[in-house]
């Protein structure tokens, strides 16, 4: 990964460990020559820098889909809440300004296309085959399932479906992404090709 973009990714606000971020970058480089990349759940843009760097090298773009009002675990009173992201004018979280700053400072505005809206709403309008889909939005049961069911049909044959925060042991983290990941494997439409930390890469057959 280019050193300047790696520095930007490491510096950005977010929850992506560096080893998983580099695995995401390498996976996006591998599949990106086949078509566009898509990220569901962008928060402040940390993972979008890894994906944007890969998109630049692969000659493609990454579309990031997020309503930017925050998933359940970053709302006030929850473990990962960041008060600096509150929009006090409307009384809601708003990660979009920080996301835009992250992408601008990384110099990736040509490679990263931000779509601001609910995942399930945008999925109903989407019809472009995806070379890679990265699911990292809400981590409770309904949001993860909606992201998978709404977006995975758009992964092209030979493309990649990537899940984040996959924890087989409940002591390590929430189980909803893990259950949906297992369901994806059980369809027989995917095979697992990479595993780094909590990141799982499945290839569509």
pLDDT in tens, 167-184: 999 999 889 999 999 999
Threshold 0.75, pTM exceeds: yes
Domain ranges, residue 165? 3-204
Q: Are strands 86-87 and 62-66 parallel, antiparallel or unpaired?
A: unpaired
Decide: 176 and 168 in contact? Cβ < 8 Å: no
> Among 68, 80, 81, 139, which one carries the catalytic annotation?
139
Q: Is 139 part of the annotated catalytic residue set?
A: yes
Looking at the structure of the chain, the number of domains it has is: 1
Cross-strand pairs, 4: none
User: 11 in helix, strand or coil?
Assistant: helix
Calpha distance 164→166 (Å, rounded): 6
CATH number, domain containing residue 53: 3.40.50.150
Calpha distance 74→93 (Å, rounded): 8
**CA-wise closest residue to 119 among 146, 152, 156, 153:** 146
Calpha distance 132→159 (Å, rounded): 6
pLDDT in tens, 38-65: 999 999 999 999 999 999 999 999 999 9
pLDDT in tens, 93-123: 899 999 999 999 999 999 999 999 999 999 9
């Amino acid at each position: 990964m280019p050193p300047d973009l790696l520095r930007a990714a490491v510096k950005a606000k977010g929850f992506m460990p560096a080893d998983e971020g580099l695995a995401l970058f390498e996976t996006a480089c591998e599949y990106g020559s086949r078509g566009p990349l898509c990220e569901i759940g962008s928060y402040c843009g940390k993972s979008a820098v890894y994906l944007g760097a890969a998109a630049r090298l692969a000659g493609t773009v990454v579309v990031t889909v997020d309503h930017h009002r925050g998933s359940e675990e970053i709302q006030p009173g929850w473990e990962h809440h960041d008060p600096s992201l509150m929009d006090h004018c409307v009384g809601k979280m708003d990660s979009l300004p920080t996301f835009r700053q992250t992408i601008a400072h990384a110099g990736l505005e040509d490679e990263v296309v931000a779509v601001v809206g609910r995942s399930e709403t945008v999925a109903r309008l989407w019809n472009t085959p995806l070379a890679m889909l990265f699911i990292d939005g809400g981590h409770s049961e309904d949001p993860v399932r909606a992201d998978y069911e709404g977006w995975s049909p758009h992964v092209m044959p030979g493309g990649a479906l990537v899940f984040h925060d996959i924890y087989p042991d409940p002591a390590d983290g929430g189980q909803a992404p893990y259950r949906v990941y297992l369901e994806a494997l059980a369809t027989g439409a995917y095979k697992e090709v990479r595993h780094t930390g909590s990141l799982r890469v499945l290839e569509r057959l």
